[in-house]
Structure 1
């Protein structure tokens, strides 16, 4: 085990010195419970390269979460160093409320190949996380958030769809192709998210994270905690409180 993995395992509280395929549900939970989905770097216009070394600095040595290119980029490097056969892929999120595709090609995810088949793994889709590998063969997996499955269907944005059912029927999460992407594509995604007028993440602060008991969601105006499937406890906050609450509750 190299130092990168040692540092990662220590950060997320992983007690083993390896990760097997059967460990992945617990390992993905540990990652999701440790790292929030948050966009401070976008609003602050932080200029950094999405490389293995930079992700090590931001996610292990410093106190950051990130967006999909940070979190799934990090997951890609961790799983690769842990001995898994993984590839980076690129997708496009479907904005259900607007009933349209979001900014094209700005979702990063990881394609994992194992003896039992091929899967998508993702810790960077907000709180919409399966918390285990999702089979490309179409079987449904269940998490506290809802049900997830992959459907092979051609759209203008790809060859496959990630579908989610969070209690209101199956909906599109994102479309993707299985074309392997170079890690340098993570920078392209970051640059688009930082600068494009259609980016949903460069307008106002946000953070979300799953927890063992539920989930937390925060904007620069509200902070909501959901526990054990109950009603959310929503409180008003001032924009100046965002950083403090992020550090206290999310990091």
Structure 2
């Protein structure tokens, strides 16, 4: 990423260029990214293919003023941090399901960022999660505005389980991967009727007081754990909500690609 693209990316998230790649700058970038760039899966429902190439991911966030899901958000952030002088490693994770078992390999992408010899977990692509990086080597509970986080080793393979408020969220593979390693699962999440991304619409970002989420035609403000839901009655209201709360300008309302089949 050249210097002009770095400056444009930093302007997108409202952060000045750091003097050096330190932990305080990383914390500022992490939170600012969550505040400015939404976690969203709209491309899937707009028929826009998601291609895991750094230039395209950065262009989507910086030029098109969009967000994305984990592969896009953490993939683009990895490019920015690397350009700023950070040592960045892409990590794969298996997300825990309702049965408390880890899901598919490469189901999620997170980042390891080493600062002054200390590894940090950086993740701006998991929705309502940590606001700041976590110490990857720490085994005591870490308190963050997003909750209480605990990282525990699992078994003999070096995997790490990431817990939020007592719930296991994902199992992290400590081995390094390239962006292209995530392409098969990125394609699966875009196309499979079994993927939760093809069965629902979401667009959500961190705010100063909580979160704002647009789920289909429902606008949700979450403040202090309390949810205020407002149904939107027309396409015009939905498009206005995308523009007002997320800075996303669309020419049509996304339609769920694979709506869930009723049972019972």
Shared fold (TM-score, shorter chain, > 0.5): yes
Aligned length: 244
Matched residues in 1 for 2:233 and 2:184: separation? 33
Task: Tell me which residue corresponds to 1:212.
Answer: 208
In the alignment, which residue of structure 2 is the partner of 1:161? 161
Q: Helix, strand or coil: the match of 2:96?
A: strand
* Runs of 4 or more consecutive aligned structure 1 residues displaced over 4 Å after TM superposition: none
Q: For residue 99 of structure 1, report the CA deviation from its aligned partner.
A: 3.8
**Could you tell me whether the CA contact under 8 Å between 1:224 and 1:234 is conserved in 2?**
yes
Q: Which residue of 2 aligns with 1:149?
A: 150
The corresponding residue for 1:69 is: 71
Query: Is the 8 Å Cα contact of residues 130 and 148 (structure 1) preserved in structure 2?
Result: no
How far apart are 1:46 and its partner, in Å?
Answer: 1.4
Which residue of structure 2 aligns with residue 194 of structure 1? 190
Q: CA deviation at 1:188?
A: 2.5
Structure 1 residues 5 and 249: CA distance shift in structure 2, 3 A: same
Q: Give me the TM-score of the superposition, normalised by structure 2.
A: 0.84
Tell me if structure 2 keeps the 8 A contact 1:153–1:160: yes
Deviations 1:106-144 (A, max 9, x none): 201001122252121100001112422332332433222
Q: Tell me how far apart the structure 1 counterparts of residues 153 and 104 of structure 2 sit (CA, whole Å).
A: 21
Task: Give the number of the structure whose residues are more often strand, by fraction.
Answer: 1
Match of 2:82 in 1: 80
Structure 2 equivalent of residue 250 of structure 1? 246
Structure 2 unaligned regions, length at least 5: 248-264
Structure 1, unmatched stretches of 5+, are none
Note closer, same or farther for the CA distance 1:70–1:85 as it changes in structure 2 (3 Å cut). same
Structure 1 residues 1-251: aligned runs within 5 Å: 2-18=3-19, 19-96=21-98, 98-154=99-155, 159-165=159-165, 170-227=166-223, 229=224, 231-238=226-233, 240=235, 241-251=237-247
Given the superposition, is the C-alpha separation of residues 239 and 190 from structure 1 closer, same or farther in structure 2, using an over 3 Å criterion? farther
Cα distance in 2 for residues equivalent to 1:99 and 1:3: 45
Give 1:22 shift.
2.2
What is the Cα-based RMSD across aligned positions, in Å? 2.2
Distance in 1, matches of 2:134 and 2:159, equals 19
Go from structure 1 to structure 2 and tell me whether the alpha carbon gap of 1:79 and 1:193 turns closer, same or farther (over 3 Å shift).
same
* Structure 1 position 92, deviation (Å): 1.1
